[in-house]
Chain A
Amino acid sequence: MIEIAPGVHAVVNRVELDGRVSWVPAGRRGREPACVYLIDCGGEALLYDTGLPAHREAVLDELRRALGGRRLGIWLSRMVEPDSTGNALALLEALPVHRVLNATHTDPLRMLTHRWREFGPDRGVSVERLPWGRRFRLGEREFEPVQPAARVIATSWLYDPTAKVLFTSDFFGHLARSNGDESPVATTSEPAPTAAEIGEHLMAKYEWLADADTGPIRRRLETIFAEHEVEVIAPGHGCVIRGAEAVRQHLALTLEALRELGERAAL
């Protein structure tokens, strides 16, 4: 577990890129950080996403150590994909989870199990859908659900204005590592990928961008970053991007990648 911003920790696991992972280009090799984020809210904590089932025990062990008896809230970014929700029920069983939050589903636990009552209301767990753009407070910290710039399925980003962190689920995950010893945090001290490489990465999951008018997506992305001061981008897959300058750099490259994809689609 590493601190990526004041009070924000990444629980980092790794995914072997060996051709069996669909959200990266087929030929990409290396080890990709797969992160969930624990945010200190004072007497409680919030977890952004729950991690892959393959990492279940590691995630649980890290959280048990870090929580130290505090209560936990869980934010689910993509209700129907197991890389977002895959450990939600295990966390509800093993940890003092007292609320489950998301921005897209009124009853998210029903998406996960027919035993939703046992995991939610019967345990006194509060289950809430929080609207995009409306800030909410959890303990000593404020958050804002952010409507993503692009999505494949119902997805919600989350902004932490205290630490200036934007949690971006399956977007901005274009940086992997060649081995597991390298830092999962990227700054301007390392060479940035090209816009073409970012475009190739986006296409692995967002393949429809090859046919899309990307103008509205770019404008939405620009608006998000104009309205929110972001110093850290925290994706679920791929490296954390840290530092205002690195954020600007990767945003500009991503906008350029989207522009190039849109131009190709228009041909």
Chain B
Amino acid sequence: MATRVSVGELPRQVAPGLFWLGTCGEIGFQGKIIHSPWNAFLVRGTERTVLIDTGAPSGWPVVRAQLARALAGRPLDYVLPTHPELPHMGNLPWLLEEHPGLRVVGDLRNYHLYLPGQEHRFEHRGRGDRVQLGGRELILVEAAIRDLPNTLWAYDTGGRALFVSDGFGYSHAHEAGQCGLVAEELPEEPSVDHTAWITYNALSWAPYVDPRRYFGRLDRLLAELPTALICPAHGSVVTRPEAMIPIMKQGLIEAHAGTLFR
């Protein structure tokens, strides 16, 4: 078990040039308080930087300070909101205000209605598009597990990190100082019932759709992109994907069966 990291110690560099930012919300689960992370990730290339997701509006002052530390004086060049829900894009107004050169990339349908007057800073990108950062690139890929259709995942070639947005979400029992731990450092291994609970609540299709329908596209993605890190918006960073993937899949199956919650 590794040293505990408090949320105050984020940003945490989880791979060279890849920083984990974010805050947690506290929610009740089976009579105790657990954390629901709202993560964002900064990737620094030699020439450009990109923020994946923005963190939740409730945590903006914290995320803002974390971002400044992670940038270490560099400008923020791009932000990729994985999909248009507040925990993923809600800090865009403040980011655009604070970083005058910042451009928003991704599937930006609807954003002209959400951020009127900022369209000149949008770069519409889709699956397969690449954002060159210098020495590494961010590849936009299909979101294998998603709620909104205008969701994108991304892959950082430098950190071999897959950013999975609402996929691979889970929470851990709340103890002070656990928020910045990667999955494999937690005192308790992420369990199927934790992943299932988050999935059941976050992905509303879970009761109606057999998730095994989506495992093929997830497996294809993982086969195409050598993945050392899985970076979810709503869970700890995963450093041993090969161990976590079966747990995540089983959590999706359990969420579909609903036996834990009905």
Tally A residues with Cβ within 8 Å of B: 36
Q: Establish whether residues A82 and B114, one from each chain, have CB atoms under 8 Å apart when the complex forms.
A: yes
| A110 to B107 CA separation, bound complex (whole angstroms) | 26
Min CB–CB distance A51 → chain B (angstroms): 10
| Residue A128 interfacial (CB < 8 Å) | no
Q: Encode contact with A along B86-128: 1 for CB under 8 Å, 0 otherwise.
A: 1100100000000000000001011011111000000000000
Kindly report which residue of chain B lies nearest to residue A213, judged by CB atoms.
Answer: B208
Q: Establish whether residues B109 and A153, one from each chain, have CB atoms under 8 Å apart when the complex forms.
A: no
- A204/B149 contact (C-beta < 8 A), A20-B110, A112-B86, A113-B58 known: yes
Q: Establish whether residues A22 and B213, one from each chain, have CB atoms under 8 Å apart when the complex forms.
A: no
Tally B residues with Cβ within 8 Å of A: 33
| Residue A211 interfacial (CB < 8 Å) | yes
Q: Establish whether residues B213 and A114, one from each chain, have CB atoms under 8 Å apart when the complex forms.
A: no
| Residue B150 interfacial (CB < 8 Å) | yes
Min CB–CB distance B125 → chain A (angstroms): 14
Q: Establish whether residues B148 and A22, one from each chain, have CB atoms under 8 Å apart when the complex forms.
A: yes
| A116 to B86 CA separation, bound complex (whole angstroms) | 15
Selected from B59, B86, B205, the residue in CB contact (under 8 A) with A80 is: B86
Q: Establish whether residues A53 and B113, one from each chain, have CB atoms under 8 Å apart when the complex forms.
A: yes
| Residue A1 interfacial (CB < 8 Å) | no
- A114/B86 contact (C-beta < 8 A), A22-B150, A54-B113, A216-B207 known: no
Q: Encode contact with A along B159-177: 1 for CB under 8 Å, 0 otherwise.
A: 0000000000000000000
| A23 to B150 CA separation, bound complex (whole angstroms) | 9
| Residue A52 interfacial (CB < 8 Å) | yes
- A153/B85 contact (C-beta < 8 A), A114-B57, A116-B58 known: yes
| Residue B210 interfacial (CB < 8 Å) | yes
Question: For residue A135, which residues in chain B have a CB less than 8 angstroms away from its CB?
Answer: none
Selected from B109, B112, B202, B207, the residue in CB contact (under 8 A) with A54 is: B112
Selected from A22, A52, A113, A216, the residue in CB contact (under 8 A) with B208 is: A216
| Residue B184 interfacial (CB < 8 Å) | no
Q: Establish whether residues A85 and B58, one from each chain, have CB atoms under 8 Å apart when the complex forms.
A: no
| A79 to B208 CA separation, bound complex (whole angstroms) | 22
Q: A22-B109, A22-B150, A53-B115 are in contact. List 12 more A-B contacts (CB 8 A).
A: A20-B109, A20-B112, A85-B86, A112-B90, A113-B57, A152-B204, A208-B205, A208-B208, A211-B205, A211-B210, A213-B208, A213-B209
Q: Which residues of A contact B (CB under 8 A)?
A: 15, 20-23, 52-54, 79-83, 85-86, 110-114, 116, 150-153, 204-208, 211-214, 216-217
Can you pick out 23 interface pairs between chain A and chain B where the beta carbons lie within 8 Å of each other?
A21-B113, A22-B84, A22-B110, A53-B113, A54-B113, A54-B116, A80-B86, A81-B86, A82-B84, A83-B110, A86-B114, A110-B25, A111-B58, A113-B57, A114-B57, A114-B60, A152-B148, A204-B149, A205-B148, A205-B149, A211-B213, A214-B208, A217-B208
Q: Which residues of B contact A (CB under 8 A)?
A: 25, 56-61, 84-87, 90, 107, 109-110, 112-116, 147-150, 202, 204-205, 207-210, 213-214
